[in-house]
Structure 1
């Protein structure tokens, strides 16, 4: 058995090359042969196709991710533009609301001033009417006092200067005039 082993391993040193020899092939030849067999098995099992298929799948997945990122970016830009337009619209709306509020405030202020003037005028008229009424009352009061004083004075004068003969004469004149 040792002889077979020596034949297989080939411990002979020929040509100045020292190394194991098996079935007449040097070690580097065995390595080359095993590499050829391994490459042959890879080709027979279609490993390059699997590798390229896997790489193609990865490339396609990356392309899909890039396309999705592009669409997301476009969508984000559209949203940004939409919100920018909404912001501008909101600013215009706020300016319009402010202008309306100022206009309404000015209108209310003008109406309040007008109403105030009307109320002052009305109160002034009412005060003037009260003053006029008080004047009329005072004039009537003065007249009443004057009439009362005149009547009292007339009574006193008549009572002092009028006697029975004057009454008879007055009665006769009245009867004659009828």
Structure 2
């Protein structure tokens, strides 16, 4: 008998012992257990993936809402800024018109004051000139006659 025969007999005995000890069943059980564990892990991964997709969708929805809210805020701020600009422009124009009116009024008042001052100076100058003229042309007799005439005119007006 040669060595190959004994190697075959040893292999058959070894395989028989393995079957008797139920090593293939144990291995199949371990493999089934490992397959179940992998299946559970795959299911958990699938659940986690679905949850992640839901969270992603929720965050994208929140981001879109936040962007829309930010756009609304920017729009409202632009409208408010435009209203403030218009109000400031109106107030400025009103202020300028009031200041212009006040300046024009002051100018008119200054013109009136200047005219009155020139008139007063002209009256004073005319009085001085008429006094000098009267002094030159009127003598004492004419002065007395003029004084008497003025008195009679005054008495007539008072009565």
TM over 0.5: yes
For structure 2, which runs of at least 5 residues remain unmatched after alignment? none
Report the CA distance between 1:88 and its aligned residue: 1.4
Q: Which has the larger radius of gyration?
A: 1
Q: Deviations over 1:32-55 (max 9, x none)?
A: 5x4553344224433233212311
State the TM-score, normalizing by the size of structure 1. Answer: 0.69
Does residue 100 of structure 1 match 2:43? no
- Quote the Cα distance in structure 2 between the aligned partners of 1:127 and 1:86: 60
1:26-45 → structure 2 map (5 Å cutoff): 27=5, 31=8, 34-35=10-11, 37-45=13-21
Per residue, is there more helix in 1 or in 2? 2
Counterparts of 2:31 and 2:124 in 1: how far apart (Å)?
Answer: 134
Alpha-carbon offset, residue 95 of structure 1:
2.1
Give me the whole-angstrom Cα distance separating, in 2, the residues matched to 1:159 and 1:52. 156
The equivalent residue for 1:5 is none
TM-score (norm 2): 0.75
Structure 1 match to 2:130: 154
Q: State the match for 2:100 in structure 1.
A: 124
Deviation at 1:82, TM superposition (A): 1.4
For the aligned residue pairs, the C-alpha RMSD in angstroms reads: 3.0
Q: Does 1:67 align with 2:43?
A: yes
Q: Deviations over 1:46-94 (max 9, x none)?
A: 3233212311221122112202210221122012201210221122113
Report how many aligned residue pairs link the two structures: 151
Deviation per CA, 1:80-129, whole angstroms, max 9, x where unpaired?
20121022112211321232133123212311321232022112202211
